[in-house]
């Protein structure tokens, strides 16, 4: 893309910043928008924005258009993610949420091959983005034709038809706690995924092939954890699964830091990927019980917005530390993130309202 537009190397940073800012704003605004447009209206709008953005990118004649359509694409993605996750958390069980997030992992894995096929078949990257735009358009049309599927009565994770909203102060505390959990969990996932290969190769002298396997196994573990949640997520209460996932995150980061390089690459990394993979879907599924069904759309939007900050800001900040202090600090920093995540979770579990969720059993 850069070569075809004659764009600067730093242009990717501008594109990513545009995407991230728009995603953050759209996610944060999704709660009020859901109240006005409904889930189906918000989802159709998100698919429409995404289709326009990716088709516009495929047809862009000049570089200056790319950051603009990237902003539109980020807004579309933010609306889609927030509306779908809020709807699933209210109407489905843990298993369905696990499959939803496993499909995200599959889509992330399929993105690069789509561009490779586009380059092989047309000698251009444009056909791949046109195909993505067409896919969003098809999804938007399908949702529009099946609006009734998105208007079912909401259910809380405990299976009751409604869940009373907490008081204003409790709600605000719950939102802050959820936002903190989303931010740190996203930061832990992104930091491990982005920096582990560099730390293994440059910082610990691991051969490139072995480090590649470690990074690959991390993402494979992330996908496998969500598939496992989709298959067996109803065997235990969601809060217990979250306890286990966060506890394993702490153990895995300690192993990545202190274990020999071979163990760090081939055991600790996939274990961390599998553990961190379930945190987002479980937090989303538990949200209605924490803030009430009426405020779930708002809470999910704020949570995803916080996750956007964590997924982009935490790895960037840690990168500055690694450059200044040394790559050896990645293990301790990952461990600190996992411990902070565990502390936030413990505080939330200590709340009487959150503790009630431990008695619930989320089915599918």
Mean pLDDT to the nearest integer, 219-235:
91
Give the per-residue pLDDT at 169: 64
Neighbour tally for 305: CB within 10 Å: 23
Q: What's the pLDDT at 292?
A: 81
Mean pLDDT over each residue of the chain, to the nearest integer? 87
The two domains 2-150 and 168-359 share their CATH topology (first three levels equal)? yes
Q: What is the pLDDT of residue 277?
A: 94
CATH superfamily of 168-359: MFS general substrate transporter like domains (1.20.1250.20)
What backbone torsions phi and psi does residue 94 show, to the nearest 5 degrees? -60, -40
Q: Is the pLDDT of residue 360 over 70?
A: no
pLDDT confidence band for 182 (50 / 70 / 90):
very high
For the chain, the structural domain boundaries read: 2-150, 168-359
Give the model's pLDDT for residue 161: 36
Of the two residues 155 and 300, the one the predictor is more confident about is 300
For residues 209-228, average pLDDT:
91
Say which range, 108-117, 309-318, 349-358, has the weakest mean pLDDT: 349-358
Confidence of residue 267 (pLDDT cuts 50, 70, 90): very high
Q: What is the pLDDT of residue 99?
A: 93
Homologous superfamily of domain range 2-150: MFS general substrate transporter like domains (1.20.1250.20)
Other CB atoms closer than 10 Å to residue 90's CB: what's the count? 22
- Is residue 160 scored above 80 in pLDDT? no
Q: Say if CB 79 and CB 30 are below 8 A apart.
A: yes
Residue 157 has pLDDT above 60, yes or no: no
The reported pLDDT for the residue numbered 363 is 41
Q: Which of 39, 119, 137, 35 is nearest to 86 (CA)?
A: 39
Question: Per mean pLDDT, which range of 95-104, 289-298, 338-347 is the poorest?
Answer: 289-298
Of 283, 236, 240, which Cα lies nearest the Cα of 97? 283
């Amino acid at each position: 893309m850069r070569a075809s537009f004659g764009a600067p190397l730093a242009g990717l940073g501008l594109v990513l910043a545009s995407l991230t800012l728009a995603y953050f704003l759209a996610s944060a605004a999704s709660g009020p928008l859901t109240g006005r447009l409904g889930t189906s209206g918000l989802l159709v709008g998100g698919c429409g924005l995404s289709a326009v953005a990716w088709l516009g990118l495929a047809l862009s004649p000049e570089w200056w258009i790319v950051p603009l359509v990237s902003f539109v694409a980020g807004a579309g993605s933010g609306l889609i993610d927030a509306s779908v996750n809020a709807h699933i958390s209210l109407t489905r069980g843990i298993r369905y949420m696990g499959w939803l997030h496993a499909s995200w992992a599959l889509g992330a894995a399929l993105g690069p091959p789509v561009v490779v096929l586009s380059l092989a078949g047309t000698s251009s990257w444009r056909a791949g983005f046109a195909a993505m735009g067409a896919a969003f358009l098809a999804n938007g049309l399908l949702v529009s034709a099946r609006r009734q599927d998105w208007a079912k009565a909401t259910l809380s994770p405990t299976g009751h038809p409604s869940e009373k909203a907490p008081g204003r102060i409790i709600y605000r505390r719950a939102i802050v706690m959820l936002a903190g959990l989303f931010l740190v969990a996203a930061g832990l996932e992104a930091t491990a995924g982005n920096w582990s290969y560099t730390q293994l190769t440059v910082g610990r002298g691991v051969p490139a092939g072995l480090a590649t396997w470690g990074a690959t196994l991390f993402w494979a573990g992330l996908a496998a954890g969500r598939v496992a949640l989709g298959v067996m997520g109803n065997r235990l209460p969601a809060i217990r699964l979250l306890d286990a996932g966060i506890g394993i995150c702490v153990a895995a980061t300690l192993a990545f830091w202190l274990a020999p390089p071979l163990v760090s690459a081939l055991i600790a990394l996939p274990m961390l990927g599998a553990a961190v993979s379930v945190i987002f879907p479980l937090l989303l599924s538990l949200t209605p019980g924490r803030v009430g069904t009426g405020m779930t759309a708002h809470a999910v939007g704020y949570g995803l917005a916080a996750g956007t900050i964590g997924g982009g800001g935490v790895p960037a900040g840690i990168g500055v530390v690694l450059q200044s202090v040394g790559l050896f600090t990645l293990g301790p920093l990952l461990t600190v993130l996992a411990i902070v995540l565990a502390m936030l979770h413990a505080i939330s579990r200590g709340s009487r309202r959150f503790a009630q969720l431990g008695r619930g059993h989320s089915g599918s």
